[in-house]
Structure 1
């Protein structure tokens, strides 16, 4: 059973909150173009393995590439739990899934972030890594990779709210 979702990591992320001393506020850059990348993460709820891939955008062809990669990294039948993003339910992705005999999908209800186990993992990642305004996109992706590598399997499941104990 795999839970899958994606998020966008932007070079200049939206400001969430920030405390600064009066008179010592740092200027916030306002770029003409904001670099971004889509991270697709899949959490295996049985083996506790995590698979992460970076893509330029959340598109149907990226979704099928990610699924192909998952087939190569996993064995047996797959129940894939994911949201109703347009690229998850596109005709291209639906046909691709129908042509494989190993994947069955379960679409979460629309606009139901609270039941998607991946949302808390993304929130945690962004709070820990993705809000630094002084990194290049490459350095930001490297920090994301380090975050995923240091997150234990148990921590990943606990953060996703699916680890009981």
Structure 2
């Protein structure tokens, strides 16, 4: 793959990388830094990418590795704990009440479970692909997802907006 083709392919996955960076860091600025570092690393290691394989899996793996090895362990930003404002965005509007509730519940999971849930259920990666991205055994992914499902099942049912027929009967 030529450098120009590689750059074009990389550019198609920036939004996905940013979403994953935001999920991990819970901070927009740190997510942007993660995406930037991932792009730099991807360009530096373009020769390691095997053409024909899923580049998004490779890129998410690079981002995850950067998060673990550089950002998190060195605590680059030393920023205070998030106050909840980062994810209280467009989902807070009335038509998205259930989506906002789901996001808050998933956001309350430990980082390892949150990442596994995101990659498997939002991005649609298989368990083996999630394991490769997170650099853990498939059994660990399965355990994290099962534990997350159990934790999420402890919550009461989600609030639902009553339909007009339900409201008429009350």
Q: TM-score, normalised by structure 2?
A: 0.27
Rg comparison, structure with higher value: 2
Higher strand residue share? 1
Q: Which has the higher contact order (CA 8 A, sep 6+)?
A: 1
Q: TM-score, normalised by structure 1?
A: 0.28
